[in-house]
Amino acid sequence: MTDVARRARALRDEIARHNEAYFIHDEPTIPDADYDALVVELRRLEAEHPELATSTSPTREVGAAPSATFAPVQHRVAMMSLDNAFDDDELRAWSERLRRVLALDSLEAIDFSVEPKIDGLAMSITYEGGRLTQAATRGDGVVGEDVTANVATVASVPGVLHGRGVPTLVEVRGEIYLPLEEFARLNERQEREDLRRFVNPRNAAAGSLRQKDPQVTASRPLAFIAYQLGALEAPSSSPFASRSHAATLTALRDAGFRTAAETASVRGLDAVLERSAWLEAHRHDFAYEVDGIVVKLDDLDLRDRAGATSRAPRWAIARKLPPEERTTRLLAIEVSIGRTGRATPYAVLEPVFVGGSTVSMATLHNQDQVVLKDVRPKDLVIVRKAGDVIPEVVGHVQGTGRRPRRWSFPTTCPACGGPLVRLEGEADTYCTNLDCPAQQVQRIAHFASRSAMDIEGLGEQRVVQLTAEGLVHDVADLYVLRADQLAGLEGMGELSAANLVAAIDDSRSRPLSRLLVGLGIRHLGPTGAKAVASAMGSLAAIRAAELATLSAVDGIGEVIAESIVAFATNPSNVVVLDRLVELGLTTSESGGAPVLTQTLAGRAVVVTGTVAGYTRDEATAAIEARGGTSPGSVSKKTYCVVVGEGPGAAKLTKATELGVPIVPGERFDELLSTGTT
């Protein structure tokens, strides 16, 4: 080995040690300037001697090529939400439900993990053969965004796992966040450079991670804390295969991850309540923003017994912390108009720092809430962050002297001047003018949003610009826009105009369920849209369906069905729908591909190892295309386990214990075509 090669290797090792000391153990051993000098020297050596560069070099993590877009990632195991408890009584009620589900006389001998709930961005990071291969955001819990290149620049995310018993495949879940000290430094830097300050650490972290150029992400001091495993394929002897959550956290630390130092294992509910109280009292002492406390069963076998609802595990709960409250002056009450015409009053406030961010506006919900809270412009009011997320006005401060005149809800729309009407039996007031410009903007912005048609570059401000210029009146108009029309607009050059037209064109192929969400049909959310699209098969079938047919779709019901029928038969909507079809948008859930026989409808098929002719994602897609699901773990509900080359021992053992049929990988195609094991 040459002297240069030895020096490069020594630099990589030294930088790795300093990264571990700083980001994992919080004990930096050298000043920042000295650390930077080491990285600069290594970058120079690799530039002069490209043959010395390695895929896991610190310089590669920073200097990765920018990605063009965030590709979708299908989670091997769904990233579920957590149910919430808002006080000790609700925490006790959860524990009682859990005791009944587990059929236990008491939980006093049961171990729990009590952890701070970090206010960051949930992340799934997959390692195959011990190397980082993919990182994805939670997204909708089933499909997230591929942010691998960006996450690879986060210094506290190991590129290679350390220690013994490294799994064949492991999905590490945790939180990307911005440490509070780093957040303060970042804002100081923003001010020095005359740039906009970030309002809170969570948003700064999310914005930093969702950058097209990983070098921008690398310039932000993000960190990662691991708290859970998702998919796992490992021998039973691996520390990762332990059936204890506490042991899993130890395995994660040994592999190179940081876990929350404030996490504690306790026994029985009384100890859970005591530890929760301690975490609440010390919430502002931590290095990161905390918006709650998570309580989990420690025993993973008990977790399997407890199971989950459609959205959340029964074995865990989030104890929400009391929202912080502040007083400030209510300057005015204004009304905003949403995409459905709903008129929502909101408070314009003297800016106040509350719940970790500066608040200058807060919701007042509806006309009745304004009357009930009796808040008036110029009042001194109490503001809180409801759930530490949504600012709201609680009420006015009593005993502040003579009060101003009561505020009256307007009778005309502030955007179009049309009448505001309160529907009978409802708390909400609506602008009934379908041509209202405010509704128009909100409908188009919703159509383009990430959860709907996901048109990159078409945010609300851009929609305002396009409607003001008369280029777009409804969502169908988007698909006839030309780059030469856009290039002359303020803030748009030829390249950005071409990119926007390309993004709009790309959205034509979104599945029917995304189109249904984008249309903004009242009461119809993503889950219902998928159910309707799958059951009916095409937009034409939905438009022609009678109320009884739609009501019979699993998960829909009469209220949603009535909304779909009303939307589909509205004359204005009929024109827009006809145009969307003519303009070539996908009108089936399968995107024009033939609908396969549903041989695995309602069945859970677990795949372990490599099946010849299929990537992991392709095997999952093949199962789902035939009506099945492909979870990452084996349970009593598993229909069968498909075993390819290099299978996970834990899954095979579990399948044998539960008597789940095992299908050799070479019979996978037969399983898909016949549905039999």
Tell me which residues are annotated as active site.
117
- Backbone conformation region of residue 273, classed left if phi is above 0, alpha if psi is from -120 to 50, else beta: alpha
**Measured CA distances, 461 to 435, 490, 491 (Å):** 19, 12, 11
Chain centre to alpha carbon of residue 65? 24
Burial of 235 (0-12, 13-18, 19+ CB in 10 A): middle
State which amino acid sits at residue 455: I
Ramachandran area for residue 101 (φ above 0: left; ψ -120 to 50: alpha; else beta): alpha
Task: Return the structure tokens found at 537.
Answer: 């098969």
Q: Is 353 helix (H, G, I), strand (E, B) or coil?
A: strand
Percent helix / strand / coil, the chain, rounded to 5: 40, 20, 40
| 569/585 Cα distance (integer angstroms) | 19
Report which DSSP code applies to 397.
P
The two structure tokens encoding residue 288: 């990161």
Q: Given CA atoms 408, 364, 519, 567 in this order, what sign does their dihedral have?
A: negative
Q: Tell me whether strands 131-137 and 121-128 are parallel, antiparallel or unpaired.
A: antiparallel
Cβ atoms 589, 534 nearer than 8 A: yes
CA torsion sign for 633, 634, 638, 643 is positive
